[in-house]
Structure 1
Amino acid sequence: MRSICIAGKNEIAIDGLQCIIDNHADLEVFFIPNKNDNGIDGWQPSFKKYALSKGVKQVSLDDVYDIENLIFLSLEYDRIIKPERFKSENIFNIHFSRLPKYKGMYTSALPLLNGEQVSGVTLHKIDSGIDTGEIIGQKEIHIDCKDTARDLYFKYLSNSKLLLKNHIEVLLSGDFLSFPQSSYGASYYSKSSIDYSRISIDFNKCAFEIANQFRAFTFREYQMPSFGAWQIIGTEILADKSTSRPGVVLSEDDAGFVVSTIDYDIRLKKDYYPALWGASESGDIATLQSALAFIDDVDSRNNKGWSALILAAYHGKTDIADILLDAGASLSVCGYNGTTPLMYAFSHYELHGDDRSFHMLISRGADVSAGDNAGKSLKDYMVERNCLDLIQYV
């Protein structure tokens, strides 16, 4: 029997494994999760959790080295693969860049820092180098001038899924062509190329370069760039030529700062989302209303996957939840595990005996039948926990 092992993390590894499970019952399937995969869904779903839920056997690299008919597929795997240790030659990787450019690390940040307009995803053989193997297929990705590192990462994910879907059958059959990477235009960046513990913005640059720095370091789940006491959520290059030395604050208002650069003044937009989320949790109506004036997406989630409405529901802040709904918040926005605001309002009732947020959300049209990622509805949890006081409403 032929065997396949998928090693990696996040949506791309899950999508690859699902494709194999759904279409190739003839294959013996293994998986290797990344070291930091604890089996719990976060801002990305857990590959380990998904694979185990499908009954796929977890193995280690040592377990698969001696399998002769193995197909090994690395999808955001966190270890360097040594092909000489495998008996099989069918060892592949999807790399988040348009090789031969941006071998190595930080492919969501570095193209933005360098002002690239195009990137891509590459399916390639794994050889003894770092992302140097022969190319099997690629998809080109357009980088918008407003894309952040987070935006680019999700473009990588969606395009990698398509790339894998288009090539999985030829990988399994061995009926594919590959070609060596060109030396022309190649680049490599090591782990030391960016020190994320000491991010600082260099203002002795043109406005375009400064804007690129801010968007390259904008990835809410990991870090946000800052200026003074404020996180910065975006920038705007102004038409005014800078006459002050680079880095001078020309003005500040509630919306942000205007700062001089080498060429054009640049506006730095203050990030009001932390204030929005904090006010939704604490019940601070004044701060909430102030923050709402400066945000674009009231359903945006914090680094734990909680929107403002979820925070208000879980903490029983009924007045806050009402204001958020009037401001356009969605009753169907979910946390990372698919939990709805109504489910969080029920959790608040369980903890505190306060059902006001629960009833308010129902009165505003919350879907009582919605299920979470585990396929359980609110009614299921009420029965499971023997908390039936509110079951008549669902």
Structure 2
Amino acid sequence: MKIVFMGTPAFAVPSLQMLVEEGYNVVAVLTQPDRPQGRKKTLTPSPVKEAALSLGLPVLQPERLRRQEAIDELAAYEPELIVTAAYGQILPKAVLDLPARGCVNVHGSLLPKYRGGAPIQRSVINGETVTGVTLMYMAEGLDTGDMISRVEVSIEEDDTAGTLFGKLSLAGRDLLKAEMPRLLAGPVPATPQNDSEATYAPNLKREDERIDWNASSRDIYNRIRGLVPFSGVFTEWNGETFKVWAAANPSAASSSRNKESSAEPGTVLTVNEHGVEVKTGDGSLLLTSVQPAGKKAMSAADFARGGTMKPGTVLV
């Protein structure tokens, strides 16, 4: 049976590799076009493209899958099953109708919660303790299709979006592997989603990365975790961007200090070998990895030794 795989980030790679390793007939791979990366804006292939080429698979990279020429190019491969995992484009009805066995999606949440493009990051930002992967038939709506099966995955307090991506990518691979024999045999019984329970995980924007020091220490900590290792979060110091890549878990006993401080949120309370302690809406948070404008990320202890930030400084 001819299978077309669609995916873009590293999350999708284990599922693609599994299909090939298990001997399934993957006839083509669709992924997003190469994008500029880094300061030099070098055109860089997606992780799925790199994996597909290493496996000797044809790669298609339509800018817009809705365009007729892209649909025609895909149709030429005569797919009987389409498998997607974080592809990054909504499939039009003309594509959904192509394969006789349908289109299935490996989605990084327990649907109907966290429909949308950033379910993993949003689940960490929102302080969830459990998430998972849902294997679903695709429909025209945004992650609205009937659910085939799903598996739960715990979110630990020290998980970041990056570590959770890794966990969920493997969970998705294993879930897809378990269901592939049924998917090839014919239509699989699936459960409609309860739309009244749906929540959404829209793609992240620049404003999602800004720290609100009036928030609780826990909320800020979760935001940092939810954007690492991708964009990180930022505040402003001396009118320039000051990025934060890690902080101490506020559940630790030391996080209770300075709750009585009268300083305004965002005020730097201490700068020492332990890091940079900043007043929050309900206490303080110890920043342990930072990146001043124009510099590389560094431990907050190394930053403190530079002596350029003093207690009393206000971050905004």
Same structural fold, with TM-score higher than 0.5 when normalized by the shorter chain: yes
Shift of 1:128: 0.7
CA distance in 2, matches of 1:270, 1:28: 42
Residue 112 (structure 1) aligned with residue 129 (structure 2): no
Query: CA–CA distance in 1 between the matches of 2:90 and 2:122?
Result: 20
2:206 is aligned with what amino acid?
Y
Pick closer, same or farther for the CA change 1:227–1:159 going to 2, 3 Å. farther
Equivalent residue number for residue 33 of structure 1:
31
Deviation at 1:174, TM superposition (A): 2.2
Alignment of 1:1-394 (within 5 A): 2-24=1-23, 27=25, 29-36=27-34, 46-59=47-60, 60-65=70-75, 70-85=80-95, 86-89=97-100, 90-174=102-186, 176-191=188-203, 194-196=204-206, 199-219=209-229, 221-223=230-232, 225=234, 228=237, 229=242, 231-237=244-250, 238-240=255-257, 241-244=259-262, 245-271=264-290, 291=302
- Give the conservation status (yes or no) of the 8 Å contact 2:19–2:177: no
Deviations 1:13-57 (A, max 9, x none): 4433333333336x462221222279xxx9997332332343323
Unaligned runs of 5+ in 2: 37-42, 61-69, 306-316
- Whether the aligned pair in 1 keeps the contact of 2:34 and 2:45 (CA below 8 Å) is no
- Structure richer in helix, relative to its length: 1
Q: Report percent identity of matched pairs.
A: 26
> Which AA in structure 2 matches 1:80?
I
Q: TM-score normalized by structure 2?
A: 0.74
Counterparts in 2 of 1:271 and 1:80: CA distance versus 1, 3 Å: same
Q: Is the 8 A contact 2:116 2:143 kept in 1?
A: yes
> More relative contact order in 1 or in 2 (CA 8 Å, sep 6+)?
2
TM-score by length of 1: 0.61
The amino acid across from 1:29 in the alignment is V
Q: How far did 1:114 drift?
A: 1.4
Q: In 2, distance between residues paired with 1:149 and 1:83?
A: 32
Q: Is the 8 A contact 1:67 1:88 kept in 2?
A: no
Alpha-carbon contact 1:35-1:78 (below 8 Å) kept: no
Q: Distance in 1 between matches of 2:205 and 2:296?
A: 28
Q: Distance in 2 between matches of 1:22 and 1:249?
A: 53
* Structure 2 residue matching 1:55: 3-state secondary structure: coil
User: Structure 1 52/145 Cα, relative in aligned 2: closer, same or farther at 3 Å?
Assistant: closer
Aligned residues: 277
Match of 2:5, SS? strand
- Contact 2:105/2:136 (CA < 8 Å) preserved in 1? yes
What is the CA deviation profile of residues 59-80 of structure 1, one whole-angstrom value per residue up to 9, with x for unaligned ones? Answer: 4543334776610011221221
2:18–2:173 contact (8 Å) kept in structure 1 = no
Q: Is the 8 A contact 1:99 1:122 kept in 2?
A: yes
Question: By how many angstroms is 1:113 displaced?
Answer: 2.0
Aligned residue in 2 for 1:304: none
Aligned partner letter, 1:71: L
Cα gap change, 1:17 to 1:216, in 2 (>3 Å): closer
Q: Which has the larger radius of gyration?
A: 1
Unpaired segments ≥5 residues, structure 1: 280-287, 295-394
How big is the shift at 1:203?
1.2
Amino acid at match of 1:87: L
Distance 1:270 1:222, change over 3 A: closer
Q: Secondary structure at the match of 2:119?
A: coil
Letter of the aligned partner of 1:34 in structure 2? Q
**Where is the strand percentage greater, Structure 1 or Structure 2?**
2
Distance across 2 between alignment mates of 1:186 and 1:218: 26
